[in-house]
């Protein structure tokens, strides 16, 4: 692919509306290398049985004229391998607590059908089940993350699922696994004990769920080479009491606690959530303000966890996050299919910067969702495929995976609209195993460029290269007829200035720099 060089001058007039562009200044100090590692699992993805995420997404009709292995769509597999997704969460979401795993094993044509009552009321044939999911993870080179059924399932059901997948000895369940084509254990480590148990997963109180968690967890056994990383249902947004109760009552046998938070343009679950593409600056500003609340939620939930786990042994797992808008007109509202604009990319980049900077507690996260659902990485239409702006953010940010966190102190201007203000710039930095330093910088101001200067102190470096993701308007999207409207291009408006790197950040842009 031909690379295009974009300078700040080329973007000087890229704004929403006719407002003039004024440069602002931002300063940062990059601290010394820490012992904190930005876990690669922060860059995880989510694939629920929802809309066209699994069926007609990963798993397609045998007659579809695309490159396939079995029914796996290989252009999707290759695209996700390129951005190095580290884990994939399945089968839900709300679907997990009505899913019974035995219905999804054995001869595909003999599997019982089921109604997906949570998402569209469609009937599924269970042709994509446990073995199909784990083969998908093998193709992707990622770790599986399975959500167990606590809402409508039983302790024995989850215990048997763990044994079926992980036991390396002789038992009726391992005989069944071998009969179904896999003699060796899968050794699945990541297990969610229920999902959103405060809501679609059972409408439980945190006290009741805590007891249920302990009951389920004790029967989900560790087997050879498969020590389980059990993840408890955590809160939604600012439900701090849920975190308090679970952390207080669950003293052991817990690897992580899940946090869910979706960015709603309108900020409301009732009525319209807002359009994915047809929005004005008021909606843009509100969306970015709501997205940045993730910093507050991660900080406050982490503080509660610190009371009961000062050694930070328990992970905060943000296993559902992203932008949730109204479904696209003309599509099944239960399928949650939405377009994906430059605004979504700015949300994704800002959120990942937040997670990186909280690497001491955030050890895993999952964007909702990978294909054709909510803030998807990839959209498909029959044999056509398009990478969304969000996909390109994950491609840009993959350099942070398992790198050492470099702490950043920043002094940034504010983006002001209608008398409200939010920070205009956010950043995270890391140093990889080869010694290269990476900075990812977001300017969410819709009109003003920013002169950004980061001092690296005594860190030695000589050259800087970069990439940028931006466009003429925050409503810009990629379509099946124009799939490269928003894409990563080379960025050459960064330079060495003594011990500092100086950068001209265009309005509504994301820049990644590599210093070596």
- Dihedral of CA atoms 306, 261, 403, 7 in degrees, nearest 10, equals -140
Nearby residues of 427 by Cβ (< 8 Å), 6 or more positions away = 28, 353, 408, 410, 439, 440, 441, 442, 454
Catalytic residue among 124, 132, 143, 196: 196
Per residue in 109-165, pLDDT tens? 999 999 999 999 999 999 999 999 999 999 999 999 999 999 999 999 999 999 999
Q: What is the largest distance, in Å, between two alpha-carbon atoms of the chain?
A: 72
What is the pLDDT, as a whole number, of residue 19?
A: 38
Alpha helices in 36-166 (DSSP H): 74-82, 130-140, 155-166
Looking at the chain, which residues constitute the CATH 2.60.40.1180 domain(s)? 5-35+406-515
Do 500 and 453 meet the contact criterion of CB atoms below 8 Å apart? yes
d(CA 434, CA 510) in angstroms, rounded, equals 24
Q: How far apart (Å, rounded) are the C-alpha atoms in residues 28 and 194? A: 41
Q: Kindly tell me the burial class for residue 307, based on how many C-beta atoms sit within 10 Å of its own C-beta (0-12, 13-18, 19 or more).
A: exposed
Q: Which two tokens stand for residue 60?
A: 């397609």
Say if residues 432 and 440 touch (Cβ distance below 8 Å): no
Are residues 69 and 76 in contact, defined by beta-carbon separation less than 8 angstroms? no
Q: How many helices (H) and strands (E) does the chain have?
A: 10, 28
196 is catalytic: yes
Q: At what angle do helices 342-357 and 281-291 cross, to 10 degrees?
A: 20
**Token digits of residue 339:** 């377009």
- pLDDT value, residue 244: 98
CA distance 457 to 406: 12
Structure tokens at 215: 């009951």
Give the Cα separation of 465 and 485 in Å (integer). Answer: 22
**Catalytic residue, candidates 320, 360, 414, 416:** 320
Provide the residue count of the chain.
516
Note if the bond before 369 is cis, omega within 30 degrees.
yes
∠ at Cα 212 (206, 215), nearest 5°? 145
- The dotted CATH code for 5-35+406-515 is 2.60.40.1180
pTM of the predicted protein model: 0.94
If one looks up domain 40-402 in CATH, what number appears?
Answer: 3.20.20.80
In the chain, CATH 3.20.20.80 covers 40-402
What's the confidence (pLDDT) of residue 22? 61
* Residue ranges of the chain with per-residue pLDDT less than 50: 1-20
Alpha carbon distance 375, 337 (integer Å): 9
φ, ψ (nearest 5 deg) of residue 91: -95, 0
């Amino acid at each position: 692919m031909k690379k295009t060089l974009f300078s700040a001058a080329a973007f000087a007039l890229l704004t929403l509306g006719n407002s003039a562009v004024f440069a602002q200044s931002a300063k940062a100090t990059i601290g010394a290398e820490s012992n904190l590692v930005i876990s690669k699992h922060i860059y995880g993805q989510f694939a629920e049985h929802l809309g066209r995420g699994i069926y007609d997404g990963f798993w397609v009709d045998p007659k579809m004229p695309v490159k396939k292995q079995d029914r796996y769509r290989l252009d999707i597999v290759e695209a996700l391998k390129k951005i190095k997704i580290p884990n994939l969460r399945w089968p839900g979401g709300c679907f997990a607590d009505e899913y019974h795993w035995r219905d999804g094993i054995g001869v595909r044509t003999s599997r019982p059908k089921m109604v997906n009552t949570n998402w569209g009321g469609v009937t599924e044939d269970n042709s994509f089940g446990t073995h199909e999911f784990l083969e998908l993870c093998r193709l992707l080179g990622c770790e599986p993350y399975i959500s167990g059924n606590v809402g409508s399932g039983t302790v024995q059901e989850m215990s048997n699922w763990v044994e079926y997948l992980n036991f390396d000895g002789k038992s009726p369940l391992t005989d069944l696994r071998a009969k179904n084509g896999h003699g060796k254990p899968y050794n699945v480590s990541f297990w969610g004990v229920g999902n959103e148990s405060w809501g679609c997963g059972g409408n439980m109180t945190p006290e009741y769920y805590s007891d249920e968690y302990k009951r389920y967890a004790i029967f989900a056994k560790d087997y050879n080479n498969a020590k389980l990383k059990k993840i408890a249902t955590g809160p939604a947004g600012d439900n701090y009491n849920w975190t308090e109760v679970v952390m207080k009552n669950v003293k052991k046998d817990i690897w992580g606690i899940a946090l869910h938070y979706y960015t709603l343009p309108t900020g409301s679950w009732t009525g319209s959530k807002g359009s994915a593409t047809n929005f004005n600056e008021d909606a843009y500003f509100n969306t970015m303000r709501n997205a940045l609340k993730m910093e507050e939620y991660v900080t406050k939930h982490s503080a509660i966890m610190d009371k009961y786990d000062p050694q930070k042994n328990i992970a905060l797992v943000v296993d559902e996050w992203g932008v949730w808008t109204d479904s696209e007109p003309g599509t099944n509202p239960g399928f949650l299919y939405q377009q994906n604009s430059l605004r979504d990319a700015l949300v994704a980049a800002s959120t990942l910067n937040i997670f990186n900077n909280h690497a001491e507690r955030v050890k895993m996260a999952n964007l909702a969702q990978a294909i054709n659902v909510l803030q998807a990485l990839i959209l498909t239409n029959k044999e056509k495929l398009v990478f969304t702006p969000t996909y390109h953010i994950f491609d840009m940010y993959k350099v942070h995976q398992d790198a050492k966190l470099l702490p950043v102190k920043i002094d940034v201007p504010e983006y002001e609209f209608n008398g409200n203000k939010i920070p205009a710039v956010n950043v995270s930095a890391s140093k990889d195993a080869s010694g290269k330093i990476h900075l990812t910088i977001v300017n969410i101001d819709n009109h003003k460029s920013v002169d950004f200067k980061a001092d690296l102190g005594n860190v030695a470096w000589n050259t800087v290269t970069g990439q940028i993701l931006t466009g003429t308007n925050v409503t810009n999207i990629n379509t099946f007829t124009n799939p490269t409207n928003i894409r990563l291009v080379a960025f050459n408006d960064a330079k060495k200035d003594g011990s500092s790197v100086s950068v001209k950040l265009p309005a509504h842009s994301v820049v990644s720099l590599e210093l070596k």
